[in-house]
Chains A and B, each alone.
Chain A
Amino acid sequence: MKSVIKGTGYILVHTPDMVLHNGTTQTTERVVNPDGEYLKELPSHIRTFEQALNYYPNQVYIGNLTPEDLAAVPQPWHDKDCPVKDRCGKYGQIMPQEEFLLLMQACDVFELVELDREFVAKYKPQLAANPLMDETILARVNEGSDIAEITRFVNDEHSEGLYDHDVLVGCVKRAHDIDVNLSAHVMLENIASKASSVLALLAGVKNAGIDKADVEYVIDCAEEACGDMNQRGGGNFAKSAAEIAGLPNATGSDARGFCAAPAHAMIEAASLVASGAYKTVVVTAGGCTAKLGMNGKDHVKKGLPILEDMLGGFAIVVSQDDGVNPFINLSMLGRHTVGTGSAPQAVIGSLVCDPLDRAGLKITDIDKYSPEMQNPDITKPAGAGDVPLANYKMIAAMAVKRGEIDRAALAEFPVKHGLTGWAPTQGHIPSGVPAIGFARDAMLENKLGRIMIIGKGSLFLGRMTNLFDGVSFVIEKNAGKDDDSGVSEEQVKGMIAKAMKDFAATLMAQADAE
């Protein structure tokens, strides 16, 4: 049984105040350099919601433009007027902060998120008009509390403030008096991750055109951990998001592996479906508040807007072969092993060359590669270069070393086999998976044959191992449903003919021997 990509959801959330209050670059600066120029300058570099909509990479992420459209626009993109400024797109939507704060409250089931009563009254109708919201979720939005009470929680009870346009409009309370794993800071990060995952799940399930009751399993592949002091990463984001998204028949679990987690989770989902264990599995992830404004210092120094003001999320619905949707080829998996080594050459060899060698294919037999799809508009001013382009150059260099392309063709390889990066720098969010929506569409339109999705992760950040990590898989155009009903008459005839021929050969060999 093949497993296919039934549909995808991609969402962004504009969270300007969380850049200031929850991004670790800013919270660290507040500790080590509270009176520095950066914190003074920063507020004037924050984008409005309209500016976030009027941004090419964001419109690509939700499917209103394609990576090819983006490639045709000269960089930088932050100063360009985007021809599309819609908040809803083919794959999902860009949610404003006000709606998201209400969604966070709806996702909290322990009365930890409190919002100002007036704020709720003002923005609940806006959330109700959101095409992805339903009655069940709206019913979870309570009427709110007095702002005086919220202020007291922030000032005296270790709560984290929730702000909108720099005004306190709510808080996230700590979930335990002494357990740091349940502190207000951790709860805010986790509830934001959960809420953006819920939004992605709603978009993915809707776009796949399936019934919510069809989802049997959800895998969350974000980079947060939820638990308490006795089981710090106990879980389970997947099931808690499935509950709010209204998937009654789903259970699930969390897969972790830094930025490589989405690719790991996709292979797990495809295997679970291919084995028949579950009919429909959704891979999902919400965004990361800690990474907001991560490269803010460089952006401010260079006079740019803070471009890392978006939480990202995605959901990919994997289900049984329908003969139409592109399938995940489980016989062509790349994996970086314990013994691979961490040199980029070894990494690319294990993730790209090894699986192709096993399948008897060349690097050029893969039409498109989707490695780390970070938006270069964000990374280049921060001195990190164009990350997808660097990946394509490495793959091209391997093709030269293997004699599969001429050295002169190095420059054209990224154009032919690559995509221009558009995803926000939210760790797991840009890691290979943003291209799946576009690849699915292109394959359904017979414009693409094979794409390789590559996930890579920096495990050293967890201080458990210095090993690098990564896995890859190939999605292919579906040539039609596998015939599982047995063998055809033609195949039977062929098998009999071969058996007769072998038998005759054996008889002749025996006769010769005698």
Chain B
Amino acid sequence: MDLENQKRVKEFAEKYGPENVVVLLGAAEGEAAGLAAETVTNGDPTYAGPLTGVQLGLRVYHVCEPEIKAEFDPAVYEEQISMMEMVLDVDDIVSEMSSVRDQYCKFK
């Protein structure tokens, strides 16, 4: 995850409390989504950014996961996300995200 984004996530968690923050991802690949999810839960796996060694354990989801899709107005989802849903390997993304949440998310 971009170093600046790590910094912003860290600041939001400090400002609002980690229990009140949900990180929503839009990554195009399961692996990339998993890495970003790991960064905001268990810390930066590349040891480069402000979240290195910081285990925020935040709730983190990909926009194509069913829990998140259910939150949307279906018309908005159709207009904004449906094309990408057709393109992405949603099963792979769900499996990566669930695995990271199961291991590191502190707020279930």
**Chain B, residue nearest A392 (CB):** B87
Residues of A within 8 A of B75 (CB): none
Q: Indicate with 1 or 0, residue by residue over B59-99, a CB within 8 angstroms of chain A CB atoms.
A: 00000000000000000000111111011000000000000
Residues of A within 8 A of B84 (CB): 343-345, 394, 397
Range of interface residues on B (Cβ < 8 Å): 10 to 19
Q: Report the Cα distance A323→B26, complex, angstroms.
A: 46
Partner of B47, one of A33, A341, A346, A393: A33
* A393 and B48 contacting across the interface, CB-CB below 8 Å: no
Q: Report the Cα distance A400→B84, complex, angstroms.
A: 12
Q: Tell me if B28 counts as interface (CB < 8 A to partner A).
A: yes
* A36 and B80 contacting across the interface, CB-CB below 8 Å: no
Q: Report the Cα distance A511→B84, complex, angstroms.
A: 61
* A383 and B32 contacting across the interface, CB-CB below 8 Å: yes
- Which A residues, 62 to 106, have Cβ-Cβ distances below 8 Å to chain B? none
Partner of A397, one of B29, B47, B48, B87: B87
Partner of A384, one of B29, B46, B79, B80: B29
Q: Tell me if A390 counts as interface (CB < 8 A to partner B).
A: yes
| Chain A facing B: main interface SS | helix
Q: Report the Cα distance A32→B87, complex, angstroms.
A: 37
Q: Tell me if A13 counts as interface (CB < 8 A to partner B).
A: no
Q: Tell me if B14 counts as interface (CB < 8 A to partner A).
A: no
| Chain B facing A: main interface SS | helix
**Chain A, residue nearest B33 (CB):** A383
Q: Tell me if A297 counts as interface (CB < 8 A to partner B).
A: yes
Q: Report the Cα distance A393→B28, complex, angstroms.
A: 12
* A343 and B80 contacting across the interface, CB-CB below 8 Å: yes
Residues of B within 8 A of A29 (CB): 48
Residues of B within 8 A of A36 (CB): 47
Q: Report the Cα distance A32→B29, complex, angstroms.
A: 28
Residues of A within 8 A of B80 (CB): 341, 343, 345-346
**Chain A, residue nearest B76 (CB):** A343
Q: Tell me if B35 counts as interface (CB < 8 A to partner A).
A: yes
Q: Indicate with 1 or 0, residue by residue over B24-48, a CB within 8 angstroms of chain A CB atoms.
A: 0000110110010000000000111
Q: Report the Cα distance A390→B84, complex, angstroms.
A: 10
Residues of B within 8 A of A394 (CB): 83-84, 87
* B48 and A385 contacting across the interface, CB-CB below 8 Å: no
**Chain A, residue nearest B84 (CB):** A344
Q: Tell me if A265 counts as interface (CB < 8 A to partner B).
A: no
Q: Report the Cα distance A341→B76, complex, angstroms.
A: 12
Residues of A within 8 A of B83 (CB): 344-345, 348, 394, 397-398, 401
Q: Indicate with 1 or 0, residue by residue over A25-41, a CB within 8 angstroms of chain B CB atoms.
A: 00011001100100000
* A390 and B48 contacting across the interface, CB-CB below 8 Å: no
Q: Indicate with 1 or 0, residue by residue over A206-242, a CB within 8 angstroms of chain B CB atoms.
A: 0000000000000000000000000000000000000
Q: Report the Cα distance A33→B44, complex, angstroms.
A: 14
Q: Report the Cα distance A384→B87, complex, angstroms.
A: 15
- Which A residues, 290 to 340, have Cβ-Cβ distances below 8 Å to chain B? 297
Residues of A within 8 A of B86 (CB): 397, 400-401, 410
Closest Cβ of chain B to A69, distance in Å, is 27
* B28 and A390 contacting across the interface, CB-CB below 8 Å: yes
**Chain B, residue nearest A28 (CB):** B48
Residues of A within 8 A of B32 (CB): 383-385
Residues of B within 8 A of A384 (CB): 29, 32
* A383 and B48 contacting across the interface, CB-CB below 8 Å: no
Q: Report the Cα distance A2→B44, complex, angstroms.
A: 53
Closest Cβ of chain B to A162, distance in Å, is 27
* A385 and B47 contacting across the interface, CB-CB below 8 Å: no
* B35 and A345 contacting across the interface, CB-CB below 8 Å: no
Q: Report the Cα distance A394→B86, complex, angstroms.
A: 8
Known: A28-B48, A32-B48, A383-B29. A390 touches B81 (CB 8 A): no
* A385 and B28 contacting across the interface, CB-CB below 8 Å: yes
Q: Report the Cα distance A33→B52, complex, angstroms.
A: 12
* A345 and B81 contacting across the interface, CB-CB below 8 Å: yes
The 5 closest A-B pairs by CB, nearest first: A345-B83, A343-B80, A397-B86, A393-B87, A383-B31
A sample of 13 cross-chain residue pairs with beta-carbon separation below 8 angstroms, ordered by A number, consists of A28-B48, A344-B84, A345-B81, A383-B35, A384-B29, A385-B28, A385-B29, A394-B83, A394-B84, A394-B87, A397-B84, A400-B86, A410-B86
Known contacts A33-B48, A383-B35, A400-B86, then 5 further A-B pairs from the complex at CB < 8 Å, ordered by chain A residue? A32-B48, A344-B84, A345-B81, A393-B87, A401-B86
